[in-house]
Each structure stands twice: as C-alpha cells, then as structure tokens.
Amino acid sequence: MNSEVRRGLVLLLVCGFTLYSQVSPDPAQIISALRTQNYTEAKRLSDIQLQSFPQDARLWTLNGLALVRLGNSVHALASFKRALQISPNYLAALEGAAEIEYKDGDQSAVPLLQQIVSLHPGDKTSHAMLAGLAFKRDNCATAVEEFGRSEPLIHSQVSALSEYGSCLVKLSKPGQAIPIFKRIAELRNDDERALYNLAVVQSLARRYTEVIQTLSSMEKARTTDPDALDLLAEAYEANADTPRSVQALRRAISANPDNPRYYVHFADLCMAHASYKVGIDMLNVGLKRLPDSAALYTARGVLYIQLGQYDKSESDFASAEQLDSNASMGMAALGMAALQQNNLPEAEATIRDRLSKQPDDAFLQYLLAETLARRGAVAGTPEFTQALKAARKAIQLQPNLSLARDVLSRLYLQEGNVSGAIEQSRLAVRADPDDQTALYHLILAVRKAGKKEQVIELTKQFAELRERVRRKEANERRYALVEQNTTAKSSRK
C-alpha cells in the first residue's frame, strides 16, 4: 500500500488545527512547501518551528512527511514516533509511522495499524496492510479476516489477492478461494500459470468440470505444460471421461518423459480400470528411461499384486527399497544419512555406536533391525537373530512405532512365521491405516496362510489406499506450487 493510496496527510493536519490552543505555530508555509513538492524547504521550515514548539505533534508529523519525500525513512520514522509520544492518537503520525514499518516488512507496524482501525474501522488500506503482515508471519486466519475487510481495495492488486487466496486454500476453504484466483487470472490474462493455479484450486474443491473449462484454452493451444496436462487428466477421469484422461497423461509423459510421477499416475489410472497389463507396459517404458526410479518399481509392484504375480511384486518392492528406502512404500525418513545412501556397513557401525550409549532408544533399535535386514541377514544366522531382537525391542520400547512393526513382519515372513507376520502387519495397519508397507506385508502373509478371500479383500483395500494416498500427495504438491507462486509474487512487492 503506497502513500498515494492513503488519505492526504496534509488535509488531516490542517483539520487538526483546532485540537491545539491558540498559542501555536502556523504550519501554513510548511504545508505549502509540501504541496509544491519543495520537500527540502518543508523540512527546513519545520526544523525552525520545532525549535520554538518542540511539543507540537503537527510539526513533528510534517517534518516526518518531508523526510519521507526526501528518502530518509529512518529519521522520518523517528519524527512520527516523537509526534505519537506527544499525541498517541494523532492519526496522521500513526499512518506515517505504520506505512514506513509496513514497507520494511516490520511487524512493529501491527499495533500502529490496529490503533488506526480502532479509530477508523472502515480504513481498508490499514486492514489490507494488517492482512499482508499476518500473511508474512503465517497467520492465515487473521490474514483472511483482514483481507475480507479490505475489499474491494485489493480487487486489482495481484500480490494481495494471491496471499488472500493462498491462505483460504491453506485453511481448507478452496471453494471460497476460487473467485480470488479467477480475479488473478483476469488480471494476468496472458499468464498460463495463473490459469493453472485457478484450476488447482478448483480441483481441490472437486469442481472438475470447472477445471476442464479453465484449462480449455491451454488444451486448445495444445499446451506442453505437463503439470497442467496431469491436472487435466485427473479432471477428465473424475468426470468419467477416461479416454481423454489417458490422452492427457500420454501427452504429459511425452512433454516430460524424465518425470516418474506421470508414469505412476498413468499406472494408477490403469489400476482403477483393471488394465494392469497396460499400466505395466507403460511403466516398463519408463524404467527403460529411468532405471533408478524407486517410484516406478513400486508402482509396477502394485500392479503385479493385482495380477497375483507376487514373486514379481516382491522383486520390484525390493528393488524400490534398495534404490530409495524413503520412497518404496511411503516409509518415513530413516534419519541416518549413511543408511539413506545405502552405505550399510557405515550405517551399522554408526547405529551400534549410538546404541552403546542409548540402548533404550526405540528408533535406533529399529534402525539396527532395518540395516541388518537390508544387509541380507538370512534366517538362522546370528545377524538375523540380532535383527529380530532389535525390532522386538523397538516395539517394546515404543509400541506405536509402525516402522519397527513393518520390518518385524518382513523378518517373520522371511523365516516362515506367517502368524507373527499377520499379527504385526495388522497392528501396524491399525495404528496407521495409510501404511502401505504394512498392508502389503499383510497381503503376502495372508496369501501364504492360504486365506484367498482375505487376499481379494485386502488387495481391493490396497488399491483404494493407493488412490487415496496418490490424491493426497497430488493435492499437497499442487498447493505447494500455488503457494510457491504466491511467495514469489509477494517478494516482488
């Protein structure tokens, strides 16, 4: 909010004459100098009068205004604050000080602005400034409230609208954010990202027909933006137009064949329509190009489960886990750089050293079990026994540590303890219904127990979980893109 938006400080100063006694300075010449943009003269005259009237708030405010125009905001702020010491509710000084601190992004402007709106609740400029400062400190509830009070002042300000819309999305109110992002798209009618952001918010609000309409101009232009095509594919699928969804995803892959996400989304679409072989074929194409993609191995392993080809699914999940322990089945970060980099001997040495000092650390016990398992500990060997012992102790120390139950169920499967694997997997799924690793282990264990009906039901549950997790991750990623664009615009204010 620049100074031109505010009501004229000079007019307020003139109107404030009657607040003072008859024995007071005459600021007419100072005001005249300000009006004619002779700011050096205005400062000189105000300095002279302040020598005789050092307790006059108007003179300090005029002095501050002249200094602002001369580019000396530091001394201007000091003059405005001196005026407020004399007259705490002097509106012109409040506005002058608040504006300087706001431009600097200083949260010290907040109490000044709050004082202004307490005196003049309808001051939309101050409400907009309060909103912007609330956004900077990540207080979206206050930001949304203040932005609402500043309308329609911000109707043509892209940065403010972006912050307003971003906060509405963050507060899980995408429906209310849609008009805001529509306005941004109108103001930035030549910016495809503005259209994309609008479509993202419409998607978050599950208004898929509107998503298609918003992206129609990009579609007609045969856009090569893979993110937009991916979003368009989701909207088509939600509207039961699978052929166009497949077409859009194929175009997204062609536009960026080195991004595994689009192959995975294609595979998920195939899984939803029981076209498992088609999905596997596409993933094979992706793996030829991206042979080190854990996400692609995981997605193919999921499809192999649907086909009942469990040996192939186990092989793919093992490859995914070897490539990226964090990505294989949504596993949480292991917290050990050596383990993440597959430097297993170094990881084991580091973990054992830390366990010697912290033997009752559940996460360290889990890490030891995970490291030994990944080093290829074979059932019946001392290493395997140590892995079992560490996993069991981790659970004893922290029963809700699903990661430990996941590795324990894997070890039980390896040694043929099917009932133990089923028990640990069920407990892990109960603690975290979105734990794909636990559910996958449960499917394998139930299958080995010969419970075919449960395998069918669990496989269906697994497919539903994959879709739910995929949608959640997509929404989070897309919102992050919108917030990233918003932050970039705010930094250019």
CATH number of the domain bearing residue 14:
1.25.40.10
Which residue, chain included where needed, has tokens 């952001």? Answer: 197
In a domain, 280, yes or no: no
* pLDDT given for residue 97 in this prediction: 92
List, for the chain, all residue ranges whose pLDDT scores fall below the cut of 50: 1-22, 326-341, 491-493
**Amino acid 475: pLDDT:** 66
> What pLDDT does 486 receive?
54
Residue 22 is predicted with a pLDDT of 41
Sign of CA dihedral 446, 448, 449, 454: positive
The domain boundary, picked from 85, 104, 123, lies at: 104
pLDDT at residue 483 in the model? 55
Instruction: Name every residue whose Cβ is closer than 8 Å to that of residue 113 and which is 6 or more positions away in sequence.
Output: 98, 102, 126, 129, 130, 133
Domain boundary among 57, 73, 104: 104
Residue 132 near residue 140, CB atoms below 8 Å? no
Structural domain ending residue among the three candidates 82, 104, 126:
104
312 in any annotated domain: no
Say whether 53 sits in a helix, a strand or coil.
coil
In a domain, 394, yes or no: yes
- Inside any domain, residue 162: no
pLDDT in tens, 277-325: 999 999 999 999 999 998 899 889 888 877 878 788 878 877 887 776 5
> Could you give the CA distance from residue 421 to residue 441 in angstroms, rounded to a whole number?
7
Give me the long-range contacts of 222-225 (CB less than 8 A, separation at least 24): 223/192, 224/251, 224/255, 225/192, 225/196, 225/255
Report if residue 55 sits inside a domain: yes
Residue at 222 is within a domain: no
Please give the pLDDT value at position 299: 87
The whole-number pLDDT of residue 220 equals 59
364 belongs to a structural domain: yes
Q: Helices 124-136 & 91-103, crossing angle to 10 degrees?
A: 30
Q: Determine, yes or no, domain membership for 201.
A: no
Q: Give the number of domains in the chain.
A: 2
**Which range of residues forms the domain containing residue 59?**
1-104
